Amino acid sequence: GENVEQHPSTLSVQEGDSAVIKCTYSDSASNYFPWYKQELGKGPQLIIDIRSNVGEKKDQRIAVTLNKTAKHFSLHITETQPEDSAVYFCAASKGTGSYQLTFGKGTKLSVIP
């Protein structure tokens, strides 16, 4: 089945700096890649997603890039703020009859004021 590797497991950045989290997937049939943010005591919150027919997607300070050939995708957060501190999860799905998400192990992001 699909395997998603995520790194780093922890990341500390100064407020205002950028943060990058990387994921690789194993199944070349995967075509949908969402990113979720999970705060303490809450469920995962979808922050951005990308499909395999697109190489990059941006939403204000957040961007995701996808390299299908290398089977990896990355989350970029610019101008980080303390409220960006949370655990971030990447995920992959094959779609077309197999929509369950396979998640990475998560990255704990700490933004230091």
Partner 1 sequence: DSGVTQTPKHLITATGQRVTLRCSPRSGDLSVYWYQQSLDQGLQFLIQYYNGEERAKGNILERFSAQQFPDLHSELNLSSLELGDSALYFCASSPNPDQPQHFGDGTRLSIL
71: left (phi over 0), alpha (psi -120 to 50) or beta: left
Neighbours of 40 (CB within 10 A): 7
In this structure, are residues 16 and 79 in contact, taking their beta carbons and an 8 Å threshold?
Answer: yes
- x/- map, 49-88, partner 1, by CB under 8 A: x---------------------------------------
For residues 13 and 103, which CB has a smaller minimum distance to partner 1 in the complex? 103
**Closest separation in Å from C-beta 75 to partner 1:** 15
Residue 29 interacts with partner 1 (CB under 8 A)?
Answer: no
Neighbours of 7 (CB within 10 A): 13
Residues that bind partner 1 (CB under 8 A): 34, 36, 41-46, 49, 89, 91, 95, 97-106
